[in-house]
């Protein structure tokens, strides 16, 4: 019973973290049809800039809660600067290329972003534990847990709600839906598709950076942290259906729980099981497990 509870809690907080990172990837894919490998770069940049800012603020004597403000600010900063630069300068010129060439270009961008981190932040790891210490820990089901990891659940719920609200209840959301369904018709009825692309990319990049920034206090931020998260978020996005936000939620929950079960019961299957499920989903339902049936366009 207690293990079940632990597994569930671990799985849920890991799933929340995966959801925050993957939802940015899926939004970018849904609107722009770009599978963005550089997303791992946004994640790593978010983590580094937040960890750096939190460390700096602590040295300057700011209170510990200020770290949360810095997490928000640094992920927005990273999303805005990197998102704008990359979309405007590079991706914009590649939209007429084949999709696999664009994937490869984002792979190149990922390599560039990885090393820019080393040039800017150096090779030594960063530890930004202040926000975690600030929230302390709580006993749940007989095990002491840090509150910080639990707040991930709240943040994920917030992100999910914000995405739903923005897409379903605002004018912007309607425009976005139109572009997702048909780019050409959107242009014809006077939607500025270019602007939609830019802001979608910035929003996706911000979410990727937010995932990295929020998780940074719980780990040592060291070179190469972006590498594993890319394939994990690919798995999440593929399992739920590429381009679908509820899909990302379901994919994140499945991967999170599966991983937690594996870690606690069969540690040697931790990575294996995630990708077996990913491959199985692609073999049985390539559109994603819960993707709605789509009419084929002729």
How many beta carbons lie within 10 A of that of residue 184, not counting itself? 7
| 107 makes contact with other proteins (CB under 8 A) | yes
| 215 makes contact with other proteins (CB under 8 A) | no
Q: What is the rounded CA–CA span in Å between residue 105 and residue 87?
A: 12
- Residue 17 makes CB contacts below 8 A (sequence gap 6+) with 152, 156, 211, 214, 215, 256
Task: In angstroms, give the least distance from the CB of 24 to other proteins.
Answer: 18
| 278 makes contact with other proteins (CB under 8 A) | yes
Identify any residues that bridge with 126 across adjacent strands, giving them in sequence order: 221
| 199 makes contact with other proteins (CB under 8 A) | no
Segment interacting with other proteins, rule: CB under 8 A, options 59-67, 97-105, 134-142, 179-187: 97-105
| 275 makes contact with other proteins (CB under 8 A) | yes
Q: What is the rounded CA–CA span in Å between residue 211 and residue 109?
A: 19
Binding mask 229-268 for other proteins (x = CB under 8 A): -xx--xx--x---x------------------------xx
Task: In angstroms, give the least distance from the CB of 176 to other proteins.
Answer: 21
58, 76, 84, 94: residue in contact with other proteins (rule CB under 8 A): 94
Query: In terms of DSSP H, where are the helices of 182-269?
Result: 183-188, 193-215, 225-240, 245-265
Q: What is the rounded CA–CA span in Å between residue 245 and residue 292?
A: 12
How many beta carbons lie within 10 A of that of residue 191, not counting itself? 17
| 270 makes contact with other proteins (CB under 8 A) | yes
Residues that bind other proteins (CB under 8 A): 35, 37, 90, 93-94, 97, 99-101, 103-105, 107-112, 114-116, 118-119, 123, 227, 230-231, 234-235, 238, 242, 267-276, 278-279, 282-283, 286
């Amino acid at each position: 019973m207690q293990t079940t509870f632990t597994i569930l809690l671990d799985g849920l907080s890991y799933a929340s973290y995966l959801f925050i990172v993957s939802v940015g990837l899926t939004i970018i894919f849904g609107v722009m049809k770009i599978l963005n490998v550089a997303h791992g770069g946004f994640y790593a940049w978010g983590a580094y800039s937040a960890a750096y800012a939190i460390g700096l603020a602590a040295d300057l004597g700011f209170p510990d809660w200020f770290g949360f403000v810095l997490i928000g600010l640094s992920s927005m900063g990273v999303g805005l600067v990197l998102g704008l630069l990359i979309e405007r300068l590079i991706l914009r010129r590649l939209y007429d290329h084949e999709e696999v060439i664009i994937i490869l270009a984002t792979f190149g961008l990922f390599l560039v972003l990885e090393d820019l981190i080393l040039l800017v932040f150096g090779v030594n790891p960063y530890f930004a534990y202040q926000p975690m210490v600030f929230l302390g820990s709580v006993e749940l089901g007989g095990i002491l847990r840090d509150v910080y990891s639990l707040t991930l659940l709240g943040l994920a719920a917030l992100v999910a709600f914000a995405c739903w609200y923005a897409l379903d209840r605002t004018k912007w959301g309607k425009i976005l839906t139109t572009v997702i369904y048909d780019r050409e018709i959107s242009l014809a009825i006077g939607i500025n598709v270019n602007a939609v692309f830019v802001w979608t990319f910035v929003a996706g990049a911000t979410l990727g950076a937010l995932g990295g920034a929020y998780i940074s206090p719980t780990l040592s931020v060291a070179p190469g942290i972006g590498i594993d998260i890319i394939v994990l978020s690919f798995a999440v996005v593929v399992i739920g259906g590429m381009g679908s936000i509820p899909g990302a939620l379901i994919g994140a929950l499945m991967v999170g729980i599966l991983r937690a079960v594996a870690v606690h019961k069969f540690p040697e299957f931790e990575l294996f099981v995630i990708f077996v499920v990913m491959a199985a989903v692609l073999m049985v339902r390539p559109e994603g497990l819960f993707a709605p049936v789509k009419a084929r366009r002729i």
